[in-house]
Amino acid sequence: MNADPDWALYRTLLAVIEDGSLSGAARRLGMTQPTVARHIDALEAALGGDLFVRSQRGLAPTDLALALRPHAETMASTAAALLRTASGTAGDVAGTVRISASDVVGVEHLPPILARLRADHPRLAIELALTDRVDDLLRREADIAVRNIEPTQGALIARRLPAADLGFHARRDYLKRRGTPATLADLAGQDLIGFDTETPALRAMVAHLPGMGRSSFALRTDSNLAQLAAIRAGFGIGLCQVAIARRDSSLVRVLEEITFPLPLWVAMHEDLKTSARYRVVFDTLIEALRSAA
């Protein structure tokens, strides 16, 4: 390495990798395209290697660029965490808090909770990252995470909430048209909604449902929100949270004896516990999600 590159150059590198072009990275960063090109040239000179090659689809990252990517992502997460931390003081419920949650939790459970938080604390700003990926709280990709698996990293404060039960549901008019299954075997004659890509967790769930697998589903999608929308639209029978279905009078639970408990955890880094805004959001999430289960 010929010099110690400026951190800003890695930010530009990450933007070019994600956008696949200098122009796209420039728009993302609010820079001019020549400035982005100079940043890449400077980083290549400092590192002594090429970072991109031109392809029909734009700029393709080299092995060197791909090796640097996770480190650049960590730097970006840390920079964002620095800005959030600086956005408020420790004793005030003010500033920014970033929450990570699954798409279903983020869309179906969190909006009224966040609305109440904002009404109670008008100087509080929320960033909501909807993903089923487990964000690394230690790297501050999020300040607080709502997860369906137990956090295993050290230095975290984690609270286990009552499990959210999953059960089979369908719209009332679908069941009127197709009939209500009385046994698990009766599902074979129904339009089932399920996953597209099999994972270890899904494999363990399906193990309790003999004869059911990917080929059994008339609609296959890995989006839990899409599955829920299909159930609500009357496409067929699928799994969704009992508490969510209970709010919709058009949905009916079938085969009530079949229940899958979905674990629920709220976690944050222990270093944030002395900051009022993080603690308020953490405690509010626990209280509200516990009563919603």
Summarised one tens digit per residue, pLDDT across range 241-260 is 999 999 999 999 999 999 99
**Residues near 188 by Cβ (< 8 Å), separated by ≥ 6?**
211, 216
Q: Domains of the chain, with CATH numbers?
A: 7-83 (1.10.10.10), 85-162+263-292 (3.40.190.10), 163-260 (3.40.190.10)
Q: Are strands 124-130 and 95-101 parallel, antiparallel or unpaired?
A: parallel
Q: Cα separation of 148 and 267, whole Å?
A: 11
CB atoms within 10 A of CB 68: 20
Confidence label for 6 from pLDDT (cuts 50, 70 and 90)? confident
How far apart are the two ends of the chain, measured CA to CA in Å? Answer: 54
Model pLDDT, residue 85: 67
Which of 47-53's residues contact partners 24+ apart within 8 Å by CB, and which partners?
47/1, 47/2, 47/5, 48/1, 48/2, 51/13, 51/16, 52/16
More confident residue, 85 or 123: 123
SS3 204: helix
Percent of the chain with pLDDT over 70: 94
Asked whether the beta carbons of 228 and 104 are under 8 A apart, the reply is: yes
Residue 78: pLDDT band (50, 70, 90) is confident
- 3-state DSSP call for residue 224? helix
Residue 4 CA to residue 45 CA, distance in Å, equals 11
**pLDDT value for 220:** 95
Looking at the predicted structure, is the pLDDT value of residue 123 above 60?
Answer: yes
Structure confidence by residue, pLDDT tens digits, 138-170: 677 889 999 988 887 777 899 999 999 999 999
CA distance 147 to 289: 12
pTM: 0.69
**Which residue matches tokens 């959001």?**
281
d(CA 50, CA 52): 6
Q: How far apart are CA 48 and CA 30, in angstroms?
A: 27
Position 293 scores a pLDDT of 66
Higher pLDDT, 172 or 132: 172
If one compares 28 and 174, the residue with the highest pLDDT of the two is 174
Indicate if the pLDDT at residue 3 is higher than 70: no
Mean pLDDT of the chain: 88
pLDDT at res. 284: 95
Chain-centre distance for alpha carbon 250 = 28
Q: 131 or 205, which is more confident?
A: 131
Mean pLDDT of 1-15: 80
Neighbours of 209 (CB within 10 A): 17
